[in-house]
Structure 1
């Protein structure tokens, strides 16, 4: 499997159009690699493709789009009028080291992820944003910046979401169909706006361990549930878990869902943030976890756009 340096050297000979999502299915590259960890269909599977358990990974691309003096591991005691320079370097780690290291890890593991991209971060690091898509991962929208979205009037929120989409599309050529609000805090109008803008799904929901459909503006709209239980910003930064604790918690979550998946449709979500999940220790932890998971029959890793489309196609998907 190529490492990042080799990929970057060779990527110039690849045509972007051959790698991007076509709008009607996965790209040729994604299709060719989709079955890397496909096992025989499980008896009693509730997924159309025969998976027993679907695992979906989020890779948040936020660093570079954060406001000045944003939340960080440093004490929040900066005097007014001064810039928190050490905290800025914590965010810089996300695009200088974190995402590149995670991209190599995903390649070694043979999986594709969904990258929730802040528009401002994409514009600040366009080559990295393009690389994520060129390596077969989904680009999903994550707002234009870290503004408080749920307080915005309808027109302002629609422009805010649209500006983020435009940044991703302009830089990567990928048309986002999935959305994640900052800290999941969408507003009363968010789903209506997303439906109007052509999105198929959002992830700002913790209520189930499987995708479900609801009617928005009279049309089917998918929720692909997110997670705080298997989320590095919640566990590593928020609760100061060690990597061993993180591994144990995620593994126990997997084991329970895998057991339930013998008779029910089950989806497991795991989330990594550029400046946290891309640290050397966390990448090692991820390698250990995902190797364990892929050794279990019927486990498949899928991008969230794949899950949303499969949910829409499946007439047995829960509809609210």
Structure 2
């Protein structure tokens, strides 16, 4: 049987990861990732045939869900600006996983990202399941996303990340597009790694669904204290390992989830806690990518 898409790799670094040389001898690189999706999700009010699943289980997907729409709107109206203030207060930078259509619908927010020092990568044209697209449709949506984000933020995105998971064609199409330095469509390691797509060497910077505020939606985090405690526990283990083999910690954030006041304060508490330790590098995805390319090629 001919395998379509990337081969599975169950081996990785085999328990012997490279001794990473993060800047200034950092033991851990912390990557804050904000998923900017609000306004690009399925919504009857935007002319889609169905909506994002939300609300009561018996609420038809073909029926407009104003409460669900408001939940998303909170993220771009309030959560975004609260997170931006926290990052300014804590003097850290993040990477936005941005859906192109979402930025088109809030251009003032889009214009704030790069001037404040944040990184913007493509999270797709819309917040969509790309596995439902044909190869040609997916190629077209990648191109649309690149052009749109370049227009709304002033620069083309250099990284890529799908909604949850890629299709079997995504990585090939990302490499084929030619302008991306890396993708984040993986959850399989604590460090970046190189792979080969066709004849081209390609960088993967894995993401995480564990250190991710999405777990508020899934019921794994009941309170902001749970979120903060888990982040600190994860940091503690990686920081210990980083004494000999520096690691990377990705923190997934959503403006409509962690952007609420109590949860945002838990994030701020964690950032302050991590910054109280020596040899910690808060890094944007593009910084990690460029460093890996320069020192771990």
The alignment's TM-score, normalised by the length of structure 1, stands at: 0.81
Deviation at 1:147, TM superposition (A): 2.7
Unaligned segments of structure 1, at least 5 residues: 1-43
The CA RMSD over aligned residues, in Å, is 1.6
- Tell me the alpha carbon deviations over residues 228-275 of structure 1, each in whole angstroms, 9 at most, x when there is no partner: 111001x21112521111111111000000000011130001011010
1:189 to 166, 169, 179: 169
CA distance in 2 between partners of 1:83 and 1:46 (Å): 50
Give the whole-Å Cα distance in 2 for the aligned partners of 1:125 and 1:255.
37
| 2:41 matched residue in structure 1 | 66
- CA deviation after TM superposition for structure 1 residue 81, in Å: 4.4
Which 4+ residue blocks in structure 1 deviate beyond 4 angstroms? none
Residues 200-232 of structure 1 show CA distances to partners (whole Å, capped at 9, x for unaligned) of: 111121111011111223222111111111100
Tell whether 2:52 aligns with 1:75.
no
5 Å matches for 1:245-284?
245-284=226-265
Give the C-alpha shift of residue 140 in structure 1.
0.6
The aligned counterpart of 1:203 is 184
1:46 aligns with: 20
* 2:216 alignment partner, one of 236, 239, 248: 236
| TM superposition score normalised by structure 2 | 0.87
Deviation per CA, 1:89-135, whole angstroms, max 9, x where unpaired? 10100110000110010011111100011111011111111112221
* Separation of aligned partners in 2, 1:135 and 1:214: 32
CA contact (8 A) 2:235 2:249 kept: yes
The answer to whether the 8 Å contact 1:98/1:278 transfers is yes
2:75 maps to what in 1? 94
Partner residue, 2:138? 157
Paired residues of 1:45 and 1:52 also in contact (CA < 8 A): no
Q: How many angstroms apart in 1 are the aligned matches of 2:211 and 2:88?
A: 21
Indicate how the Cα distance of structure 1 residues 145 and 80 shifts in structure 2: closer, same or farther if over 3 A, else same.
closer
Report how many aligned residue pairs link the two structures: 270
| Kept after mapping to 2: 8 A contact 1:59/1:115 | yes
Contact 1:129 1:171 in 2 (8 A): yes
Q: How far apart, in 2, do the equivalents of 1:303 and 1:170 lie?
A: 21
Say yes or no: does 1:145 pair with 2:126. yes
How far did 1:146 drift? 2.6
